[in-house]
Amino acid sequence: SIVGRLWLLLPAGEVDPRAVVALLCGSARQIQEKMDQARRTRDLSLEQMEKVARRFKQQNPGIQASHILSLPLVELAEKLKEGSLSPESVLYTYIDQALEVTREVNCVTDFMQGCEEQLREVRRKKERGLLYGVLVSIKDHIGCKGHVSTSGLVQFLGKAEEEDSVIVQVLKRQEAIPFVKTNILQSMINYDCSNLIFGQTVNPLNHKKSPGGSSGGEGALITGGGSILGFGTDIVGSIRLPSSFCGLCGLKPTGFKASLSNCITGMVGPMAGDVDSLALCMRLLCFQVYSSSVSLRIGYYDGYGYFQPSPNMRQAVQETRKLLQRAGHTISGPFYTPPGIDYMVDELFTRGLFSDGAANLLDKFKGDIVDPTLKSQINCYHLPILVKKILALILKPVVSHLDVSAKSLWKHHVAVAVILFSH
């Protein structure tokens, strides 16, 4: 129950049981009311999608929706720019399809009703951008003006963004049309796609499976045909895992290639049905690299000694290397296992991730209820400091990153800097 879950979040100690019950019930009601309101807002949003799509179909009965949905991104973008396909037909066809997909797998959390006005503005311009009229879906926590970035957490409900994130601004400048936001895992710290606000998103290829996470709503929507290009974020797999689970192509760009401004966390990157779509998108994001004729020096590796890539991944790297060489670039490598890879992953990465003992992460769950998919994980973070210290002593021969003192954190920063500057 909600009261039972909230009880787990209370500090230990002597308390008046009546006061506890009153507190829990009051908090539970407030949380439930916020979640119920968010669901009602989402439902109204989906009703609006249905309304505008139905109106367009009634006014344009000859639209060949199946043909539009079958076009790959590169071809769709070309037809839109040359005028052989109207952006209105694309907009309302994808709105209708996105609605159908989310009814099946629960992936859309918000409809950006301003997309219709944006399309009218795009129509009035003489020059056409690289993604003129292309519909784009956006992961929940990437900021879009006037829309809430929930991260699957109650504390963010009702707080609409005051401006678009940089990635959304860039997309709009190139005349792409963001039209929906998609579901994520609560707090985005695992590989599923579920939260207690909007529920579980399932995989369109198998409803008994997860689409992966945390950009799972994007993966599910694109695989279902409800979007042709989506944007997720990725730190340790949140684009790559859903792309793999859903049979898509996804790219986590090198850090800070795409701006994180007004985006809660992670490297922003595209997700689509094929590699050509990603290349077109990256041409937009990294225009200077694509427009330069200067030969580049590029390093590569097809394995780094910690997690082993599958054979098809190695093959893809080798094919890419050959193509880059043919294009006149200088290729360096392969770079095999970096020195001390176990130390870097187990010690530097993990200790850096939990350098505060997960305190900042747990702050995000205050006044919230933990989704069942995260319960065991969050319960571990809630262990008292004394218990953590005892465990750290017991496990020190195996795991040393449980030491979270300020002194150890400074040493950790120095160790990271040494690795960075020595390579």
Respond yes or no: is residue 238 known to be catalytic.
Answer: yes
If DSSP codes are grouped into helix, strand and coil, which group holds residue 392?
helix
Q: Cβ(192)–Cβ(216) under 8 Å?
A: yes
CB atoms inside a 10 Å sphere around CB 118: 17
Cα gap 339→142, rounded to integer Å: 36
Start-end of H helices in 339-384: 341-342, 350-353, 359-364, 375-381
Write the CB contacts of 108 (distance below 8 Å, at least 6 apart in sequence): 45, 46, 49, 98, 99, 101, 102, 180, 181, 182, 183, 217, 221, 226
Cα gap 8→328, rounded to integer Å: 61
Q: Which among 149, 238, 277, 355 is annotated as catalytic?
A: 238
Taking the CA atoms of 91, 94, 98 and 99 in sequence, report the sign of the dihedral they define: positive
Q: Cβ(143)–Cβ(237) under 8 Å?
A: no
Respond yes or no: is residue 172 known to be catalytic.
Answer: no
Question: 258-288 burial by CB neighbour count: b if 16+ within 10 A, else e?
Answer: bebebbbebbbbbbbbeeebbbbbbebbeee
Q: C-alpha distances in angstroms, 197 versus 158, 313, 371?
A: 13, 36, 9
Q: Which among 139, 172, 181, 252 is annotated as catalytic?
A: 139
Respond yes or no: is residue 57 known to be catalytic.
Answer: no
Q: Which among 210, 214, 277, 355 is annotated as catalytic?
A: 214
CB atoms inside a 10 Å sphere around CB 394: 11
Which of 113, 137, 2 minimizes the C-alpha distance to 49?
Answer: 113
Q: C-alpha distances in angstroms, 316 versus 264, 275, 300, 320, 323?
A: 31, 11, 12, 6, 11
- Which of the residues are catalytic? 139, 214, 238
